[in-house]
Amino acid sequence: MRNATPSEWSYYAGLDEIYHARWAARALGRLRAFREAVDHFWPKPKGYPVKVIQVAGTSGKGSTCQFIQSGLRPYGKAGCYVKPHVFDYAERFVVEGRQLGHDEILATWNEEIKPYCVKMAMKGEAWEIDHPEASILVAMRLFQEHDLEWAAVETGIGGRYDPVTTLDVVATVLTNVGRDHEDVLGSEHWQRALEKAGICRPGVPLILGDKDRRTVEVVSAVCEDVGTPLYHVDAPMASEVKEALSLGRAGGPGLLLGSRHQLQNATVAAQTIKVLVKGASVKVMAQRFAETRFVGRFWRVEEGVYADVAHNPSKTQALAEEAELRFPGQKKVFVIGISGRRSPVDIVEPFVAQARAVVVTSAGYKGQDPAQVYAALREKHPSLPIHLAPDPQTTLKVAKNLRRGRETIIFTGSTYMIDQALNPDERLRHLNATYGWRNERLRRRAPEPGPA
């Protein structure tokens, strides 16, 4: 039931929209255009046949989606849509624990989604469907074709203005609120919490994994205002999941639960499934969790070389703790590429105590200038060996030359850097690195080429 008198938090969110009315109107207009696309493919009253769970948060969204689809499989066919991919766009589409094939993705785009996108482009710019929305539509159609009962779908930045928030869902999940995308979501913690709390829907349960009192205060108030049932992930659930996993063989090579901090994401997934499926067993879920894999999460590249996507301070702190647990007392070489407007110093700080050396390279798409990252780190840590290697393809050789004996090398930071450094498919590397170049031409209003 909605709160008759909205809280001050809802007022703050509304005031922010008023202060940025033109921006907010455009963002909401894009959401309306996307919702019309969804209604075109899955018209009311029947709507979309798959039960969707929206997952938002600063970190752990993709892993939580993977755990949800794994844990739900004993209770119906399940899949997930996660983003961004590390090496191959197809990584985004998972059905019953399996990455879908290129042929399926291409057929769905060419035969169904692309014709609609063309039709909308002919109506005008306000109706255009771009990559984020088109990818969600591809995922939704693929999940329908595979006759799924459940699908976990990862939110992009924030939540309030993300296209996933326009979907009809059976549950929403907020893993946590941390420091990332402050330039888009706000410099204050409460601002970022408000943006992510924008995923709330009347009568639809929200599962909150964050125990930070600042997050709890904001999310609790917004849920009450909207009429959203709120479920907290508590200590007894965490203990039950941990005990169930300890009975099995969780944490083998290449498995998501090989990293200790993933226990929290598995617990959030378990709480979500308990809310959705009456009588769901944590022991049964745990068996599935223990088998879950996810590209780029403490992935073993080769002996002594690992890669882990950790592009914000919350994630690098978790990675630093995991690295020390796995290789206690050992110095390590960190290869770093940073994207967006994040602080290089804040990203790297958790690694300093363990670092034999830091290799700074380009992050590719949206990447910061590695020379500027290098300069910022040298100023903050003048005694730490920091090396500049602008070409990611050279960094493995550089790192091997810097380590001593059997010390570990860890590639981390931007997803795009890991792709550029380690993707064996040079054509995919190029397409990933140059994503958006055609859109840039549109923004610059470049003239169309003449006849050949």
- Contacts of residue 119, defined as CB under 8 A and 6 or more positions apart, other chains included, come to none
- pLDDT surpassing 60 at residue 427: yes
pLDDT in tens, 298-312: 999 999 999 999 988
Indicate if the pLDDT at residue 209 is higher than 70: yes
Q: How many Cα neighbours within 13 Å face the side chain of 185?
A: 28
Instruction: Report the chain's mean pLDDT, rounded to a whole number.
Output: 93
Residue 252 confidence (pLDDT): 62
Q: Which of 448, 119, 75 is nearest to 272 (CA)?
A: 75
Using the 8-state DSSP alphabet, how is residue 364 labeled?
S
pLDDT in tens, 147-170: 999 999 999 999 999 999 999 999
Residues 6+ apart with CB under 8 A from 100: 90, 93, 94, 142
Mean pLDDT confidence for 108-137: 96
Would the pLDDT of 451 be above 50? no
pLDDT at 353: 96
5-17: per-residue pLDDT in tens?
899 999 999 999 9
Please determine, for residue 450, whether its predicted confidence score (pLDDT) is greater than 50.
no
Question: What confidence tier does 247 reach under pLDDT thresholds 50, 70, 90?
Answer: low
pLDDT (mean) for 103-120:
98
Mean pLDDT (whole number) for 60-74:
97
Taking every pair of Cα atoms in the chain, the longest distance, rounded to a whole number of angstroms, is: 68
Q: What was the pLDDT predicted at 444?
A: 64
CATH class of the structural domain 8-289: alpha beta
- Higher pLDDT among residues 96 and 259, named by residue: 96
Residue 1: per-residue pLDDT: 63
118: pLDDT strictly greater than 60: yes
pLDDT of residue 445: 57
Per-residue confidence (pLDDT) for residue 33, from 0 to 100: 96
Q: What is the pLDDT of residue 265?
A: 96
Mean pLDDT of the region 304-330: 93
User: Is the pLDDT confidence value at 2 over 70?
Assistant: no
Question: How much is the pTM?
Answer: 0.93
Q: Residue 182: which pLDDT band, with cuts at 50, 70 and 90?
A: confident
The pLDDT of residue 181 is above 80: yes
414-434: average pLDDT: 95
pLDDT > 80? residue 219? yes
pLDDT of 446 > 60? The answer is no
Q: What is the mean pLDDT of residues 104-115?
A: 98
Give the count of beta carbons closer than 10 Å to the beta carbon of residue 386. Answer: 22
pLDDT for 250 beyond 60: no
Phi, psi of 56 (to 5 degrees): -125, 170
Instruction: Give the residue range(s) of CATH 3.90.190.20 domains in the chain.
Output: 299-438
pLDDT, position 258 = 81
Taking the C-alpha atoms of 131, 135, 136 and 138 in order, what is their torsion angle to the nearest 10 degrees?
A: 140
CATH 3.40.1190.10 residue spans of the chain: 8-289
Tell me the CATH class for 299-438: alpha beta
- Residue 253 has a pLDDT of 62
